[in-house]
Homo-oligomer: A and B are copies of this chain.
Amino acid sequence: MAEAEALTEIWRGPFLESLHRGHAVICDASGDTQEVWGDAEKVILPRSSCKMLQALPLLESGAADAAGLTDEHLALACASHEGAAIHTERVARWLDDLGLSESDLRCGAHPPKDRAAKFALIRAGLAPSQLHNNCSGKHAGFLTLARHLGAGPEYIDPDHPVQKAVLAAFEAMTGETSPGHAFDGCSAPNFACTLTGLARAMARMAQAQDAVDGRDRAAARLVRAMTAHPELVAGEGKACTELMRAAAGRAAVKTGAEGVYVAILPDLKLGVALKIEDGATRASECSIAALLCRLGVLDAAHPATRRVMDAPVVNWRGMETGSIRPAPALR
C-alpha cells in the first residue's frame, strides 16, 4: 500500500508553508491504470464526485423521460450547486412539476454559497431552505425516480428502492462490490469504492458516447448535460464550472467533499479520480487541473486553470503573499 504522495504545495514568500498529499489514478474503462500517484487501491468515500453515477438509475429506469426532464434537470442532478437563483428556481419548478415541494426534500438546508443569494436572505431576515442545499438537484432526481418506482417518501434510506438502484449502478460502473456506505452531508448514503474503481467508472462514462446499452446511453447523456450546462453543475467562479468551460467539452469534472475530484475525458476515453488525504478543496482543485494539463485537456495558461493551479495567494490589502502550486510529481 503506497503512502499518499505530495500533490499540492502552498508557498508563502520563500517558504513551503503547507503541503497536501493524496492519491490519484488515471485509467481506462477496463480499469487499466495509465498513471498512479499514491495508493490506487485506496478505499474512499467519493462524496459528491459520484453524483453522475447516482443519477444513472434516473435515466435507465425511464423516470427522466417520463417526467420530461431536460439536460438542465440532468445537469442539476449531477450538481453541487451554489444555491444561486439559476439553481434554486429550477429545482423549485422541477419539484412543482412533480406535484411535490421543498418539504419533500430530505437534504436539509444550508446557506447558499452564492454571495447574492446569501446576502439577499440575510437582508430579508430569511432562513435558507432545502432548495439552497448544494445537493437539491440530486435529491429532486431521487424524488423523480421514487415517484416513477411508486416507492415511499424516505428515498434516502439505504434500503429504499432508489438507493438500491443507485448501489447497483455504482457497483456496475466501478466494477467492484462496495465495502459499505456512510451518510453524506445531504443525508443520502454514500457508497465507498477504491480510487481505481472511481476512475474506472469515470472512464466508462467517458467511453459511453459509443452507446450500446441503456446504461451507456444514460451515461453519455449525463456527460453531455454537464458539459452543456457547466453553470448549473456548480456556479459562476467555481472550479467545476470554470474548468469545464475552459476544457470546452473535452472534460466533465466534478468535485466531492473532503478533497475528492473526478474527470471524465470523452476524447481520450479516460477517467481520473483523486483524493487529497487531508480533505482540502484547494488541493483537489489544483491537482485535478494539473492532471488535466498533463493530459492535454486543459491549457495551463488559461485563466480558469491558473486560478486554481498556479494561483497567487493575495492578502487583505491586495499584496501577493504566496501561491498554490502543483507538487513536482504533478508538474
Contacts from A to B (Cβ < 8 Å): 4, 10, 12-15, 17-21, 43-45, 106-110, 119, 122-123, 133, 180-187, 190, 192, 258-259, 276-280, 283, 315-319, 321-322
CA distance A319 to B189 in the complex (A): 12
Q: Which of B12, B108, B192, B317 contacts A108 (CB 8 A)?
A: B317
List B contacts of A316 (CB < 8 A): 107-110, 133, 185-187
Per DSSP, chain A at the interface is loop
Instruction: Give the shortest distance, in Å, between A144 (CB) and chain B (any CB).
Output: 20
Is there an interface contact between A315 and B45, defined as CB atoms closer than 8 Å? no
CA distance A13 to B122 in the complex (A): 34
List B contacts of A192 (CB < 8 A): 15
CA distance A316 to B136 in the complex (A): 12
Q: Besides A17-B182, A185-B321, 10 other CB < 8 A contacts? A: A10-B258, A18-B277, A21-B278, A108-B315, A108-B317, A109-B316, A183-B321, A187-B317, A278-B280, A278-B283
List B contacts of A17 (CB < 8 A): 44-45, 182, 258, 279
Residue of B nearest to A275 (CB): B18
Is there an interface contact between B315 and A185, defined as CB atoms closer than 8 Å? yes
Residue of B nearest to A315 (CB): B185
Is there an interface contact between B317 and A106, defined as CB atoms closer than 8 Å? yes
Is there an interface contact between B322 and A182, defined as CB atoms closer than 8 Å? yes
